[in-house]
Amino acid sequence: MPKTSARLLALLSLLQTRRDWSGTVLADRLDVSLRTVRRDVDRLRELGYPIAAVKGPDGGYRLGAGTELPPLLFDDEQAVALTVALQVAATTPGNGLAEPAERALNAIRRIMPSRLRHRVDALRVTAVEPPVTRPATPVDGDVLLTVSAAVHAREILRFDYGGYGGEATDEPPRRVEPHHVVTWNGRWYLVAWDLGRDGWRTFRVDRITPRTPGGPRFAPRVLPGGDVATFVTGTFRGSGDGLGDWPCQGTVILDLPAATVALYTRDGLVEEIGPHRCRLTLGSWSWTGLAAAVARYDADIEVIGPGELTEAFEHLSRRFARTAAGHGITPPPS
């Protein structure tokens, strides 16, 4: 049987990998008795980890969310990936997260084992923004979280809406039914039904100052066009930076947070659909080029449509398979 400290770390690592664990499976994985598992769970609770008991034939456990952030356990690959993501956030101008990302990066580096610290110190990432028609607009992280929470909870949001330069206005607070938070050409937007103006509106998140309390829950309305990509594309069409300028347009779901994808997306629409998933709509001059542009995000991809984009991925997969096999360019038929 491993020592108590090592066993607690192993138990914590298992609890972080999936939602529910039965006590029997945990005991088998750790090669201990059910009684030892129960005792170790109690020890982790004393350390501040919110572990809930799950009902069932064998009983079970779930690592939940608490009021404070307890210590987390990362494997080597997760720790390196986290520091790379924080370096990108810390060096991206105008994202509103540079200072807290730098502090988080320094805190993680201090507690890293030397074998990882040397790898991380050898890596220096600087995000270089591509030329765009307008500079990125910084957004307060707390405001973004508040707006996103109202979207997910389907609760009416109240806020003051500033002028184009962020200055205060004499307008009364807005009351809206928030539906989607998206990014478009370097800016965060809230898509919502404006209760005071009885219509759909898009609001720049950098101009929003939330008010509390909010409002009651609401039944979501159907967006014009049926989905947020169609609605936002139509809203910005003609502005010179819209998806309507591209002959080939497609939508995918990426297993990446919307905030991460937004760091690298200027000419598309990013919609948050979960803590670690987002919907991305992009355009290109060709379907193959569009598939290649999506593939650069280095994440699992689910194609929503159209069928031409799926065919383009199939075409690229065959091409890449030939390259990986060392066959290179296929000569034209003689």
Helix (H, G, I), strand (E, B) or coil at 225: coil
DSSP 72-123: ----HHHHHHHHHHHHHHHHSTTSS-HHHHHHHHHHHHHHS-HHHHHHHHT-
Q: Who's near 159: CB < 8 A, 6+ residues apart?
A: 173, 174, 176, 208, 209, 210, 211
pLDDT digits (tens, 9 = 90+) for 157-198: 999 888 766 666 777 888 999 988 887 766 788 888 888 888
Distances (CA, A) of 186 to 189, 241, 269: 10, 11, 10
Q: Can you name the CATH fold of 4-63?
A: Arc Repressor Mutant, subunit A (1.10.10)
Please report which confidence band the pLDDT of residue 238 belongs to, taking 50, 70 and 90 as the band edges.
Answer: very low
> Nearest 5°: CA angle at 159, between 158 and 164?
150
Nearest C-alpha neighbor of 37 from the set 25, 20, 55:
25
Q: Can you name the CATH fold of 243-324?
A: Alpha-Beta Plaits (3.30.70)
pLDDT digits (tens, 9 = 90+) for 14-53: 777 667 788 888 888 888 888 888 888 888 888 777 788 8
Q: How many CB atoms lie within 10 A of CB 243?
A: 21
Query: Residue 144 pLDDT more than 60?
Result: yes
Helix (H, G, I), strand (E, B) or coil at 313: helix
Query: Residue 246 pLDDT more than 60?
Result: yes
Nearest C-alpha neighbor of 15 from the set 59, 39, 49:
49
Phi and psi torsions of 227, nearest 5°:
-150, 165
What letter represents residue 200's amino acid?
W
What pLDDT was estimated at residue 177?
Answer: 92
Count CA within 13 A, CB hemisphere, residue 289. Answer: 9
pLDDT digits (tens, 9 = 90+) for 110-126: 667 777 776 666 655 54
In this predicted structure, which of 71-80, 280-289, 317-326 has the lowest mean pLDDT? 71-80
pTM: 0.45
pLDDT digits (tens, 9 = 90+) for 276-315: 788 888 887 778 888 888 888 878 899 988 888 999 898 8
